[in-house]
Amino acid sequence: MEFDVIIKNGSILDGSGRDAYRADIGVTGNTIAAIGDLSAANAREVLDASGRAVAPGFLDAHRHADTAIFRDGFGTAELLQGLTTVINGNCGLSAAPVSGPHANDVAAYLYPITGALSGVPVESLADYLNALKSRALPLHAGMLIGLGTVRACVAGFSKDLDDADYRAIHALQERSLSEGALGVSLGLGYAPECFFDTAGLIRALEPIRDTNLTLSVHMRSESMNLLDSIDEALAFAKALRVPLQISHLKAVGKARWGALVYEALEKIRRAREDGLDVQCDAYPYTAGSTQLLHVLPPEFLSGGTDAIAKRLIDPDAQKALKERLDFGTDFDNYAKLIGWENIEISSVRLSEDRRFVGKTVAEAAGDAEPWRFCAELLSRNACAVTMIDRLTHEDDIAAIYKAPFSYVISDATYPENGIPHPRVYGAFVRVLERFVRERKTLSLAEAVKKMTRMPADRYGLKKKGRIEIGADADILVFDPDRVHERATFETPAQCCVGVETILVNGAIAVRDGACTGKTNGTITERRSV
């Protein structure tokens, strides 16, 4: 037998969750061609994995690299934490399709999450994916279609939709799904999706009814009304008869740490027992990162960023805002749930405001009222401000990871200036280091399953996330005792160590812990529903 690559003497974690076993792997082209004793076989390159774990390349099903993937240098931080596939377009905020009379407003709203759309073909999902296909990609990428983006393109950021709007939402959604979207994402905590009621949401999602396309949902609430939000998500998934993925499950705010997460997991468990195909995921940090707009009550988010910016400096609106932030309980009121001292400014649009980056809103406000400082900062930056928010407790994260129906994500965003969250650089190695090696929340085999086969299967990527004959040759070799996340909140732009070798589509993308510059990545598409 002759192969292009043989990985010999490794301890194989095949992605199924079963214990490791010793075997060699033979790769021909972009496919795993043989597994077993290959000591008598030949190959153009033989890699010795003695004393190392050999696993499928990790798959991050919840990333926000929609435009970052077009930037020079993209892929290094991802590969060096073991990633060989990422899925973008999450939280209802996909960078494509963006077209029509509201395109500029949509692009402005998306900017803090997706980055600037200028220079990226986004009029249709086909345009976007074709542009990616023309690039040399260091790893694989797929895309979800964001219902928030679709709705905003059709009707802007208004609260009301008419029959024609729903028809247009269906048409744009159907077109994007036919062009290769892996599923549909929702961001019910963001405009304009926060304006849907449950019935309207079900109506908007008619194109995926009775399909096997996964519906990934950032729920309406992740704190005060978490359990009600889970009930809503279960209800629309049941009505539509589609697989449901609850994104970045958490309980926000110290008062809700502990029991609430267990109640949420029990709701999901019972729904699964009743036959609903529902899973959840979580990132391995107690801090998140998103638009600073997320601190505002929903009624302040209508009209797009220009309208929001004007509203935030209107005296009457400011009075109403203060009242809502002081007493509001019908939305995830971060000002009360975690406090301004736990909301750090991570990026701004204006250079003169960059002195506030790295400071909490409480610190940056100085002698001013934090809510007023926040409103004025958002207004003068055209709402293009991001935050890192300290939200949850690590014991809650561990509880979620222990659930057999959960898997690992990063939820990484890529600000064009300021301070990124360390999850951009280290989320998947953090799981190995913190939740396997230190806390022993998961066995190594369980963690690998939650970072490979589970998310791959969720999005129909049946040749990814597994070490088996016929699978794609996306293979990771690492030292479980040495992998280490170097990124911190103070100095996040540091790549992980301990990931020694990675094959992407059969090509060696990482050798001896350094990227080789190989660009064998592809676009993952799902055409059949």
* Percent of the chain clearing pLDDT 90 (strictly above): 99
Asked if 505 and 473 touch (Cβ cutoff 8 Å), the reply is: yes
Asked if 286 and 400 touch (Cβ cutoff 8 Å), the reply is: no
Asked if 436 and 479 touch (Cβ cutoff 8 Å), the reply is: no
Mean pLDDT of the chain: 97
Summarize pLDDT for 175-186 with one digit per residue, the tens: 999 999 999 999
C-alpha span between 520 and 529 (Å, rounded)? 27
Asked if 514 and 500 touch (Cβ cutoff 8 Å), the reply is: no
**Residue 503 β-bridge partners:** 475, 508
Q: Could you tell me the two tokens for 99?
A: 């077209």
Whether pLDDT at 81 is above 60: yes
**Residue 146 β-bridge partners:** 185
- Name the strand (E) or helix (H) holding 503: strand 499-504
Q: What is the pLDDT of residue 317?
A: 97
Q: What is the mean pLDDT of residues 360-378?
A: 98
Under the banding of pLDDT at 50, 70 and 90, the label for residue 1 is confident
Summarize pLDDT for 472-502 with one digit per residue, the tens: 999 999 999 999 999 999 999 999 999 999 9
Summarize pLDDT for 392-427 with one digit per residue, the tens: 999 999 999 999 999 999 999 999 999 999 999 999
Cα angle 513-516-518, degrees, rounded to a multiple of 5: 135
pTM of the model: 0.97
Q: Over the range 353-382, which residues count as b (16 or more CB within 10 Å of their CB) and which as e?
A: beebbbebbbebbeeeebbebbbbbbbbbb
Cβ atoms within 10 Å, residue 511: 16
C-alpha span between 255 and 123 (Å, rounded)? 44
Whole-Å CA distances, 223 to 84, 113, 261, 334, 342: 33, 22, 10, 9, 16
Q: What is the pLDDT of residue 528?
A: 45
Under the banding of pLDDT at 50, 70 and 90, the label for residue 527 is low
Summarize pLDDT for 218-231 with one digit per residue, the tens: 999 999 899 999 99
C-alpha span between 220 and 266 (Å, rounded)? 19
**Coil vs helix vs strand at 10:** strand
Cβ atoms within 10 Å, residue 224: 22
DSSP secondary structure string, 415-475?
Answer: -SSS---THHHHHHHHIIIIIIIIS-SS-HHHHHHHHTHHHHHHTT-TTSS--STTSB--E
C-alpha span between 481 and 474 (Å, rounded)? 22
- Name the strand (E) or helix (H) holding 388: strand 386-390
Summarize pLDDT for 40-55 with one digit per residue, the tens: 999 999 999 999 999 9
C-alpha span between 374 and 369 (Å, rounded)? 9
* Residue ranges with strand state E in 49-92: 53-56, 58-60, 83-88
Q: What is the pLDDT of residue 277?
A: 98
Whether pLDDT at 265 is above 80: yes
Summarize pLDDT for 279-315 with one digit per residue, the tens: 999 999 999 999 999 999 999 999 999 999 999 999 9
Q: What is the pLDDT of residue 529?
A: 40
